[in-house]
Amino acid sequence: MSVIRNILNSRFSKDGNFFNVLVQILGFKPKNIFHYKKAFTHRSLNKKDEEGNAINFERMEFLGDAMLSAVVASHLFKAVPGGNEGYLTKMRSKVVSRKHLNELGKDLNLLKYIETNIPTDQFGANIHGNLFEALIGAIYLDRGYKYCRRFIYERVIDPYVDIEQLEGKVISYKSLLIEWCQKEKKGFDYEVYEDTGNDELKHFAVKLRINDRVVAKARATSKKKAEEKASKRAYYALQSKIK
């Protein structure tokens, strides 16, 4: 343990502020602060314990993801007694969507406390959600299921889980459109190609065809974003038929 303590000694201990920050974020006092330090350690530091195991937030993230999913699933199971497996799975996906977790991580300003050798402005948007899940994993290891469940209810379920609103929330227009095409036995194709525009960042353009007819076009900085953007435009163009 002394070796791990030395490895994890960081700016948190130097400024003496990390414990107070945790209390404000968690709403309770942590018992073992080292779990939380691991949750904010990036693999770029290449830290290892005395047995050679990597020390970074990725394992915490895995655990936190599982705990978050379990608590949300339990809540939905009780809140919607008539919901079947497919319905409950979709609802859970909306609550724990990457976009929502990123927003939660941003709201708590978790990126401010990460220890890394990479400039934080070089991280993608998902780092916020990853740290949020890692924090949940640390809570579970530190204080167990009861405190972990309480944190998830206070930060996720109570303020954001409204069944009626969730039912109308679309998390992937592409998935929704593909599901509709398959149900209606319509052919579809996403033709994606690199855009040769004058933008500083490389862009991709997409043409979405349904039954060989172009129904939407879009461009974005990634193929995935371009496809989703085109799908959203197609959804609103075909909304009366899809609903």
52 close to 67: Cβ distance less than 8 angstroms: no
Task: Give the residue from 137, 139, 134, 110 showing the smallest Cα distance to 123.
Answer: 110
Q: What is the mean pLDDT of residues 64-88?
A: 94
| 91 & 121 share domain | yes
The verdict on whether 194 is a catalytic residue reads: no
214 close to 183: Cβ distance less than 8 angstroms: no
CATH number of residue 118's parent domain: 1.10.1520.10
Look up the domain containing 179 and give its range.
Answer: 173-242
| 220 & 116 share domain | no
Res 13: pLDDT: 47
Q: Give the number of other Cβ atoms within 10 Å of residue 60's Cβ.
A: 26
Residues 6+ apart with CB under 8 A from 143: 28, 30, 31
| 77 & 150 share domain | yes
Domain boundary among 151, 167, 183: 167
Rg of the chain in Å (alpha carbons): 22
Give the model confidence (pLDDT) of 13-42 as tens digits.
444 589 999 999 999 999 999 999 999 999
Domain boundary among 121, 138, 167: 167
Catalytic residue among 49, 51, 61, 65: 65
53 close to 38: Cβ distance less than 8 angstroms: no
Q: What is the mean pLDDT of residues 128-137?
A: 98
Res 9: pLDDT: 46
Ranking 104-118, 144-158, 197-211 by mean pLDDT, the lowest is: 197-211
CATH number of residue 190's parent domain: 3.30.160.20
Ranking 44-58, 168-182, 192-206, 217-231 by mean pLDDT, the lowest is: 192-206
| 147 & 192 share domain | no
Give the model confidence (pLDDT) of 82-107 as tens digits.
989 988 998 898 899 998 999 999 99
pLDDT at 225 over 70: yes
Domain boundary among 147, 167, 187: 167
Res 235: pLDDT: 84
Give the model confidence (pLDDT) of 55-66 as tens digits.
999 999 999 999
pLDDT at 198 over 70: no
Task: Give the residue from 20, 10, 65, 80 showing the smallest Cα distance to 41.
Answer: 10
| 130 & 110 share domain | yes
43 close to 127: Cβ distance less than 8 angstroms: no
| 160 & 50 share domain | yes
Q: Domain tally for the chain?
A: 2
pLDDT band at 168 (very low <50, low <70, confident <90, very high): confident
Res 34: pLDDT: 93
CA 221 to chain centre: 20
Ranking 13-17, 18-22, 158-162, 189-193 by mean pLDDT, the lowest is: 13-17
| 140 & 177 share domain | no
pLDDT band at 199 (very low <50, low <70, confident <90, very high): low
The verdict on whether 133 is a catalytic residue reads: yes
Catalytic residue among 51, 61, 121, 133: 133
| 116 & 197 share domain | no
pLDDT at 237 over 90: no
| 50 & 157 share domain | yes
pLDDT at 67 over 70: yes
| 142 & 183 share domain | no
| 135 & 237 share domain | no
Longest dimension (CA), the chain: 66
| 193 & 97 share domain | no
The answer to whether the pTM exceeds 0.75 is no
